């Protein structure tokens, strides 16, 4: 499965094509789905462009995207960097429009609260693992029936270290929960190398401006559409 991660916490100062508003997210959703994306991951934004999990901002983003690409699964992030005076788990309980899944990072203190808030509302969970410690924590408190996928996301920028971390997490989870789907992705310098690993191991993966701005050639992509076109072309070539 190829997922498109449309914006993350990227700013328009980093790349002018980073989508903020519901209409921008919807437009990019249409482009990347036509390019080959099968699912979407996004970070809703407030009117000032900052990340937000307020009900009004979540609903605005989801409604616009679903109107553009009906039937495509849409997930959103719950990472702790989203500034809010209200706990994110409390905000989740107020949502009027529900995503198909949420990503919850096991390395964050609020993970158990977010997990309970999501599953109690029937929202699937993508379990974010960035270290072996995260994988071990997942095994301690979250039974497989409560999550839809393992999201192995590697932040290390040194390629050898990133590869080592990715393979260790994947081996750990394969030993305990081989039946759970896996999605592997890198960030910036490791985005395309880990995309290649995911292809070779036939894992799900993702590409988009959240994870990196450059094409495999090193040139800066024009936007999410070009990144997904490149990813879809590589996947197609690998299958032949």
13: tokens are: 């100062």
Pick the CATH number of 2-239 from 3.20.20.70, 3.40.50.2000, 1.10.10.1200, 2.60.120.10: 3.20.20.70
Q: Round to whole Å and give the CA distance between 41 and 44.
A: 10
Residues 189, 216, 6, CA angle at the centre, nearest 5°?
70
pLDDT < 70 stretches in the chain:
240
Other beta carbons within 10 Å of 179 = 6
Per-domain residue ranges of the chain: 2-239
The H or E element containing residue 65 is helix 55-68
Q: Which pLDDT score is estimated for 52?
A: 97
Give the predicted TM-score (pTM) of the model. Answer: 0.94
Name the 3-class secondary structure at 149. Answer: strand
Q: Which pLDDT score is estimated for 240?
A: 64
Per DSSP bridges, beta strands 182-185 and 124-129 are unpaired
Calculate the CA 159 to chain-centre distance: 20
Long-range contacts of 219-226 (CB under 8 A, 24+ apart): 220/15, 222/17, 223/15, 223/17, 223/28, 223/31, 224/4, 224/6, 224/17, 224/19, 224/28, 224/31, 224/32, 225/28, 225/31, 225/32, 225/35
Q: Which pLDDT score is estimated for 144?
A: 72
Name the 3-class secondary structure at 42. Answer: strand
């Amino acid at each position: 499965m190829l997922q498109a991660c449309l914006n993350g916490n990227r700013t328009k100062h980093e790349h002018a094509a980073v989508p903020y508003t519901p209409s921008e997210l919807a437009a990019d959703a249409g482009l990347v789905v036509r390019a080959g994306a099968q699912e979407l991951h996004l970070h809703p934004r407030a009117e000032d462009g900052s990340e937000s999990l307020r009900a009004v901002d979540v609903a605005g983003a989801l409604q616009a995207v679903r109107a553009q690409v009906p039937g495509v699964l849409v997930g959103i992030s719950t990472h702790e960097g989203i500034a809010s005076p209200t706990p994110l788990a409390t905000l989740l309980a107020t949502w009027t429009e529900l995503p198909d899944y949420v990503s919850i990072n096991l390395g964050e203190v609020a993970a158990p609260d977010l997990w309970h808030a999501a599953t109690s509302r029937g929202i699937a969970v993508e379990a974010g693992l960035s270290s072996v410690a995260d994988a071990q924590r997942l095994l301690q408190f979250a039974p497989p029936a409560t999550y839809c996928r393992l999201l192995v996301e590697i932040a290390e920028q040194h390629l050898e270290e990133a590869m080592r971390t990715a393979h260790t997490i994947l081996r750990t989870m394969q030993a305990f929960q081989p039946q759970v789907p896996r999605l592997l992705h890198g960030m910036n310098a490791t985005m395309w190398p880990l995309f290649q690993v995911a292809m070779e191991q036939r894992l799900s993966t993702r590409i988009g401006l959240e994870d990196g701005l450059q094409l495999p050639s090193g040139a800066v992509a024009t936007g999410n559409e070009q990144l997904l076109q490149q990813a879809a072309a590589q996947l197609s070539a690998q299958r032949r």
